[in-house]
Amino acid sequence: MDVLGRSNEKLDALIANSPIASVISDPRQSGNPIIACNAAFLELTGYAEHEIIGRNCKFLAGPETEPWLTDTISNGVQRHAPVMVEILNYKRDGTPFRNAVLVAPLFDEEGELEFFLGSQVELEPSAPASYESRHAAAAAAVKALSRRQREVLAEMALGHLNKQIAFRLGLSEQTVKMHRALLMERLGAASSADAIRIAVEAGL
């Protein structure tokens, strides 16, 4: 659902079925507020949907959240570039948790910035090498794709739509859709948001 309570198929397709905690924010509104979130995000943070919609993602920050990592995210947002950091956030009950946060831009058919995708994976305190292991797993999964599928995935990670990807790669839109479906199946990605996260984790 969007901020006005209306069903938004585009936003639902991005994050609704994802097992990864995810939100969509609207940079065209003041403060870049969250306009959609999925069930996994509610479960991870302990907040209800009405407590999330309309707020900036920074509400998860707390007394020990690393300001330099918050700045890294802000810089990525300003540059309209995907960024991933491991940062300390806080759940609704005040419990701190370390999580790998991805923020990536999503553009409309005219190439204008439309949304930001945000997703979070909680990290186990006993897994200091979690980034390296996730990077290795993601890199291996991406390497197993065909060259054309990797090219389509890289364009997805930049926030481009099928029409834009087709133009940039010199393909038909139907061919892009085919490669997109195949690469998501091979990656085991339940949504475009999940595929984008894998691409960024792999350093694509």
Q: Tens of pLDDT along 122-178?
A: 887 665 556 667 778 888 999 999 999 999 999 998 888 888 899 999 999 999 999
Q: Give just the sign of the alpha carbon dihedral 61, 105, 124, 15.
A: positive
Residue 202 phi, psi (nearest 5): -80, -10
DSSP for residue 60: G
Q: What is the mean pLDDT of each run of 10 residues along the chain (204 residues)?
A: 47 78 92 91 93 91 89 89 89 90 87 89 68 80 93 90 90 92 90 86 82
Q: What is the pTM of this model?
A: 0.75
pLDDT value for 6: 38
pLDDT value for 158: 86
pLDDT value for 179: 93
Distance, in Å, from the CA atom of 73 to the CA atom of 135, rounded to the nearest integer, reads 19
All domains in the chain, ordered by first residue: 9-123 (3.30.450.20), 134-201 (1.10.10.10)
Among residues 63, 73, 65, 68, the alpha carbon closest in space to that of 25 is found at 73
Residue at 122: amino acid letter = E
pLDDT value for 35: 92
Average pLDDT, the chain: 86
Q: Measured at the alpha carbon of residue 195, what is the angle toward residues 191 and 196, in degrees to the nearest 5?
A: 115
